[in-house]
Structures are given as C-alpha cells and as structure tokens.
Amino acid sequence: MKINVLKNYKELSSTVADIVETQIKKHPLSKLCLPTGSTPLGMYDELVNKKLDWKSVITFNLDVYLMNITRPQSYQSYMRKNLFDRTNIYPDHYHFPFRPFSAFEDKIKGSKGIDLCILGIGTNGHIAFNEPGSSFKSRTRVVNLSEQTIKDNSRFFDSVDDVPTQAITMGLETIMESKKIILMANGDHKLNILNVAMNGEVTEDVPASILQNHKNVKVYYSD
Ligand code: PGA
C-alpha cells in the first residue's frame, strides 16, 4: 500500500482536515468516525478554523476508556474540548461507544453507515483499541488494553498506574464497513509499524494490516 509522506505535522493535519472539509461540504449529512490521541489534534484545530457547518453531521468515536467520563483524560472530554464545543455540531449528533453495543452498531449501520473514518495507529499496530490478536471479525466490545498501549498513553496521565486498563472499542469488522478510511501517523516511532501494517503480512497480530483488504484507504505520514 502507498504511504503518502508529507513534509511535516502541519501538512499532515491540513491534508486530512481538507479531506474532512470536502466530505462535509459535498455531503452535509455525512457520518464520520473520529479518533483521539496526539496525532489528530492539529487536524481538529484546522477543522475548527475552517468554520464548517456541522449541523447535519453525525459522528461516532472509535473508542473510549472505561473511566469516569468527567475527567479531563476521558475521550469524551477530549472531543468536547478539541472539536465539539468549538463547532455547531448538535450534542445528540455525536456518539461514543455505548451499551448495549448492538444498539451502538445499529446506530452506525442506520442510513448507510460511516462515510469517512479517520484512524490513528498505535506503536503495536492497533487501530482504535483493537490490540494485537483482535479478531478480524470483531465488533464493538470491551477490551483489555495491552501493556504497550498503557505505557504509550501514560503521558496523558499522572502516572502509568492511573491509565485505565480497559476500554470500549469499535471492532475491526465495524471499522472495515466504513466507505472511506484515512489512516494518519506522525513521528519516526510510527514508521516501522506503519510499513509492517501496510506492506507486510495481513495478520491479526498486526490489527492495522486488515486495512490492506479495504478498497478505499489512504495513508498519510509525517515524521
Ligand atoms: P497517538 O495514538 O495519536 O496518541 O499516537 C494513536 C493510537 O494509539 O491510535
């Protein structure tokens, strides 16, 4: 698979923000699937600055920690702070994985599913919180976070012991049903796993490698 290498983080952020802008302008009723973490922060800033009309857009987040959602580290807090509270999206139009998971999945499937899904990749090859070994047939569910993910994400918490050990994530099959997928990765530390996932064996040991089986994926990287 082609990895589009961009000049720097700014260009990575603006390239993906431009794709989201085109999607929303062309299809105001778009359904988007959105990531959290460090990588998309610049993209969210760019999107806010574009002052798009979000009133008909519907979003689904890829994953949430199992934790008190009022804490600043929760992905609910992250999304409000970095995107939702800075746009005119309706609060009942954005969704985080909820129980029962079949109802969450039905909500995604309703009116033709996800149009555009933006993903990051973990240093262990995870997409959303589908850790190595996740079934390619997996759907929304509770997962245990891997040691690597807990270590990687500890920078957002007071200490590694403060990182939640469980999360709810969309499954790999759920993600693969999206019509278009963009994978964004930033930093040298992601380059090796990105190459393995995009050009190595398609295996459940490297969850992101499933993207090789999708017809409409674009991959963007900056160091
Ligand atoms: P990051 O996380 O953007 O914080 O590196 C990506 C991921 O774990 O999917």
* Helix residue ranges per DSSP H, the chain: 9-26, 41-49, 75-82, 101-109, 147-153, 172-176, 191-199
Query: What tokens were used for 213?
Result: 């089986």
- The pTM assigned to this predicted structure is 0.97
Q: What is the pLDDT of residue 111?
A: 75
Give pLDDT tens digits for 97-118: 999 999 999 999 987 899 999 9
Ligand 1 centre to CA of 118 (Å) is 12
Enter the tokens of residue 188: 């040298």
Residue 63: pLDDT over 80: yes
Percent of the chain whose predicted confidence (pLDDT) is above 90: 99
The Cα–Cα gap between 8 and 15 comes to 11
Q: Which pLDDT belongs to residue 27?
A: 97
Q: Express the helix, strand and coil content of the chain in percent, nearest 5 each.
A: 40, 20, 40
pLDDT digits (tens, 9 = 90+) for 147-204: 999 999 999 999 999 999 999 999 999 999 999 999 999 999 999 999 999 999 999 9
Which residues have any ligand 1 atom within 6 Å of their CB?
37-39, 120-122
126 C-alpha vs ligand 1 centroid, how far in Å?
9
On average, the pLDDT of the chain sits at: 97
